[in-house]
Amino acid sequence: MTHDRDIVRNALQQFIQEHGDMFPSPEDAFHYFMREFNMSEHHPGALNFEQSDPFLQSLETFQEAMNATSQSKRNLLIDQALELWPNNWHIHAYQLMTSESIDLTDLIDKYEKLERKAYNETWKTSSKREDIEVDAYLNIKKHFSDILFECGLLDKAQKHYEELLRMDKTDTARARYKLLAIYARKYDWKNAWKFYLKVDEAESDDQILLPIIILAILTGRLEVGLKLFKQLMEVNPDVSYLFEEENEWPYPDILESNDVLSERFAPFSYDSLLLSLYDLLPLLYDNLYLYETLIKAYDQSDTQSNEQTNSQSIFLKLMRVEEEIAPPFLTEKVRMNLFSMHSQDESNPLRNIGVGQIRLLIQNHLQTYDDFLKKTEAQVKSIRGIGPVTIKKLKENNVRFKDS
Statement to judge: residues 302 and 317 lie in one domain? no
Statement to judge: residues 301 and 320 lie in one domain? no
Task: Give me the domain span that covers residue 48.
Answer: 17-86
Statement to judge: residues 304 and 319 lie in one domain? no
Statement to judge: residues 304 and 317 lie in one domain? no
Residue 158 domain-assigned?
Answer: no
Statement to judge: residues 246 and 327 lie in one domain? no
- Which pLDDT score is estimated for 227? 94
- Which pLDDT score is estimated for 253? 82
Distinct helix (H) and strand (E) counts, the chain: 22, 0
What values do phi and psi take at 366, rounded to 5?
-120, 95
Q: Are 243 and 295 in contact (CB under 8 A)?
A: yes
In this prediction the pTM is: 0.66
Statement to judge: residues 304 and 209 lie in one domain? yes
Return the amino acid letter for 365: H
User: CA 353, CA 154: separation in Å to the nearest integer?
Assistant: 33
- Which pLDDT score is estimated for 343? 58
Residue 265 domain-assigned?
Answer: yes
- Which pLDDT score is estimated for 193? 96
| Closest of 213, 253, 257 to residue 232, by C-alpha | 213
Statement to judge: residues 264 and 329 lie in one domain? no
User: CA 16, CA 7: separation in Å to the nearest integer?
Assistant: 14
Q: Are 325 and 363 in contact (CB under 8 A)?
A: yes
pLDDT in 10s for each residue of the chain, 404 residues: 444 555 556 666 666 666 666 666 666 666 666 666 655 554 545 555 554 567 777 877 887 888 888 888 888 988 888 888 888 888 888 888 777 777 889 999 999 999 999 898 888 775 455 566 787 888 889 999 999 999 999 999 999 999 999 998 888 888 999 999 999 999 999 999 999 999 988 898 999 999 999 999 999 999 999 999 999 998 888 888 888 766 788 888 888 777 655 555 567 788 889 989 999 999 998 888 999 999 888 888 755 554 443 434 444 444 444 444 444 433 444 444 444 555 566 778 888 776 667 777 877 888 888 888 999 988 888 886 677 778 888 898 899 998 87
Burial class (CB within 10 angstroms; exposed 0-12, middle 13-18, buried 19+) of 1: exposed
Burial class (CB within 10 angstroms; exposed 0-12, middle 13-18, buried 19+) of 166: exposed
Task: Select from 309, 339, 368 the last residue of a domain.
Answer: 309
- Which pLDDT score is estimated for 309? 38
| Closest of 254, 367, 230, 253 to residue 302, by C-alpha | 230
Cα angle 20, 21, 24 (rounded to 5 degrees) comes to: 90
Residue 11 domain-assigned?
Answer: no
Indicate the angle between helix axes 26-39 and 131-150, nearest 10 degrees.
Answer: 160
Residue 146 domain-assigned?
Answer: no
Q: Number of structural domains, the chain? A: 3
Return the amino acid letter for 287: N
Statement to judge: residues 304 and 318 lie in one domain? no
Task: Select from 277, 309, 341 the last residue of a domain.
Answer: 309
Q: Are 228 and 206 in contact (CB under 8 A)?
A: no
Per-residue three-class SS string for 209-255: HHHHHHHHHHCCCHHHHHHHHHHHHHHCHHHHHHHCCCCCCCHHHHH
Q: With H, G, I as helix, E, B as strand and everything else as coil, classify residue 74.
A: helix
Residue 401 domain-assigned?
Answer: no
Residue 318 domain-assigned?
Answer: yes
Statement to judge: residues 217 and 305 lie in one domain? yes
Statement to judge: residues 286 and 225 lie in one domain? yes
Statement to judge: residues 263 and 322 lie in one domain? no
What values do phi and psi take at 70, rounded to 5?
-115, 150
- Which pLDDT score is estimated for 55? 72
Statement to judge: residues 297 and 354 lie in one domain? no
Q: What is the DSSP letter of 264?
A: S
- Which pLDDT score is estimated for 221? 95
Task: Select from 62, 86, 110 the last residue of a domain.
Answer: 86
Q: Could you tell me where the beta strands, DSSP code E, fall in 269-400?
A: none
- Cα diameter, the chain: 72
Residue 175 domain-assigned?
Answer: no
Residue 264 domain-assigned?
Answer: yes
